[in-house]
Amino acid sequence: MRTRRWIFSAVMRLLLRCLRIGQRHRFWPTQKVWQLWLYGRLCLRSLLYNSFTDSDTVLDALFEPVYWLVDHVTRWFGVVFVALVIILTSSVVCIVYVCLLPLILRTYPLPWIFWHFIYGHWNLVMIVFHYYMAITTQPGYPPQQSKSDVAAVSICKKCIAPKPARSHHCSICNRCVLKMDHHCPWLNNCVGHFNHRYFFSFCLFMTMGCIYSSISGWDMFWEAYAAIEKMKLLAKERLQMTVNQTYGQTPPPTFTFHQRAFHKSVVYAWVLCSSVALALGALMIWHAVLITRGETSIERHINRKEKKRLQKKGKVFRNPYSYGPLGNWKEFLGVDANRHWVTRVLLPSTHPPKGTGLSWDTTPCVPEQKTALLAI
């Protein structure tokens, strides 16, 4: 009886061992891969562990080479873009002076000549002045020397320096910029506290100039376009006559080089002006909306996120840097109540913006929101 029980337990032990061995062999590759994965993850975490790491940080790290490439390309292409703006604007101005002005002086009545002369030159001066000022004026940087004097609200992780309110780090300029709006490749400069007005005024006057040119040159454009179409038709007819060898017939009239150049220049200038009017006009309207709200382009994104976060908690978002639509425009243009509108807005003016850009008056808002905004 004892022997039988012993045999039974020995068989059961053997069976169990076999099952274990079988199990081990059956799942060996999966277990090995799983162990390798756990080991790799542990190694990676021990090497890269940071209590502040989250999905955004990981994404930033993964896209770092792309950001680096974009930053460097933008930095170098900025010079090309500025040259392009100057060349294209100069080409349109040359066409107006060489081709259109003699025609206007010959055919237009005196009041229209006077209007075009005054408005055209005022608009041109405003464009050139604001573009020059926008590319040559520094946007404003937090002081590097006396870091303790800066009313900082956070620390820039790239500069390892205090960052004043509304300042942001520009990865293309590689430094923090006061009230940074964006880095503009067309200016090859950052748009910040000290040149934001020049940038917006350039967009405004360039759009106005392009709209003015497109409207006043509408008839000339269609005449030139029709002439180019006729030119193509005559060239076809001439080719047909050569092929058929009908030399007896009178050849169709030809356009002179001057006429061809004139028509093509008018079409080129009109197409360029109307395209710029649409593209730059949309950008200008967007910036006008932001200025009315008292926001920069960067703050627009931050505020939108903040608004959604507070909405979930049943709270109302309020922009701490908004002083009402009119107040925001006065602040932006640097004009006092009922003063300076003509001299500072409608004429070239180099007046500095209000404040140093290092500290800002804030309007009352939800305490929790204020903390969140300042911590960005």
Nearer to Zn ion, 156 or 231 (CB): 156
Question: E strands within 185-266?
Answer: 189-191
In the list 134, 153, 190, 310, the residue contacting Zn ion (rule: CB under 5 A) is 190
Consecutive H or E run containing 245? none
Nearer to Zn ion, 183 or 263 (CB): 183
Nearer to Zn ion, 178 or 273 (CB): 178
**Closest C-alpha among 78, 100, 110 to residue 182:** 78
Nearer to Zn ion, 74 or 292 (CB): 74
In the list 116, 130, 166, 183, the residue contacting Zn ion (rule: CB under 5 A) is 183
Residues with Cβ within 8 Å of 345's Cβ and at least 6 positions away in sequence, in order, are 333, 335
Determine the interface stretch with Zn ion among 100-108, 129-137, 183-191, 361-369 (rule: CB under 5 A). Answer: 183-191
CB of 348 to Zn ion, least distance (A): 25
By CB under 5 A, what part of segment 140-159 binds Zn ion?
156, 158-159
Full 3-state SS string of 122-166: HHHHHHHHHHHHHHHCCCCCCCCCCHHHCCEEEEECCCCEEEECC
Nearer to Zn ion, 181 or 331 (CB): 181
In the list 169, 230, 260, 307, the residue contacting Zn ion (rule: CB under 5 A) is 169
Determine the interface stretch with Zn ion among 1-9, 181-189, 197-205, 339-347 (rule: CB under 5 A). Answer: 181-189
Q: Provide the total of helices (H) and of strands (E) in the chain, helices listed first.
A: 11, 6
By CB under 5 A, what part of segment 242-301 binds Zn ion?
none
Q: Cα-flanking dihedrals φ and ψ of residue 372, to 5°? A: -65, -40
The residue to which tokens 């950052």 are assigned: 190
Please count the residues of this chain forming the interface with Zn ion, following the rule CB under 5 A: 10
Nearer to Zn ion, 156 or 374 (CB): 156
Locate 57 and state its tokens: 């940080």
Determine the interface stretch with Zn ion among 174-182, 199-207, 229-237, 290-298 (rule: CB under 5 A). Answer: 174-182
Would you count residue 196 as binding Zn ion (CB under 5 A)?
no
CB of 282 to Zn ion, least distance (A): 22
Neighbour-count burial of 205, counting CB atoms closer than 10 A to its CB (0-12 exposed, 13-18 middle, 19+ buried): buried
**Closest C-alpha among 26, 45, 47, 43 to residue 35:** 43
The residue to which tokens 């045999």 are assigned: 7
Would you count residue 374 as binding Zn ion (CB under 5 A)?
no
Rounded CA-CA distance 181/163 in Å is: 15
Given a contact cutoff of 8 angstroms between Cβ atoms, the answer to whether 209 and 123 are in contact is yes
Would you count residue 172 as binding Zn ion (CB under 5 A)?
yes
Nearer to Zn ion, 78 or 353 (CB): 78
CB of 33 to Zn ion, least distance (A): 44
Would you count residue 366 as binding Zn ion (CB under 5 A)?
no
Among the listed residues 173, 184, 190, 203, the single catalytic one is 184
CB of 66 to Zn ion, least distance (A): 18
Q: 3-state class of 348 per DSSP? A: coil
Q: What is the DSSP letter of 161?
A: E
Q: What is the DSSP letter of 148?
A: G
Question: E strands within 291-340?
Answer: none
CB of 180 to Zn ion, least distance (A): 8
Determine the interface stretch with Zn ion among 71-79, 110-118, 187-195, 340-348 (rule: CB under 5 A). Answer: 187-195
Q: 3-state class of 155 per DSSP? A: strand
| 184 belongs to the catalytic site | yes
In the list 170, 266, 277, 358, the residue contacting Zn ion (rule: CB under 5 A) is 170
**Closest C-alpha among 147, 138, 145 to residue 177:** 138
Locate 55 and state its tokens: 């999905």
CB of 72 to Zn ion, least distance (A): 13
Chain residues binding Zn ion by CB under 5 A are 156, 158-159, 169-170, 172-173, 176, 183, 190
Q: Which residues are catalytic?
A: 184
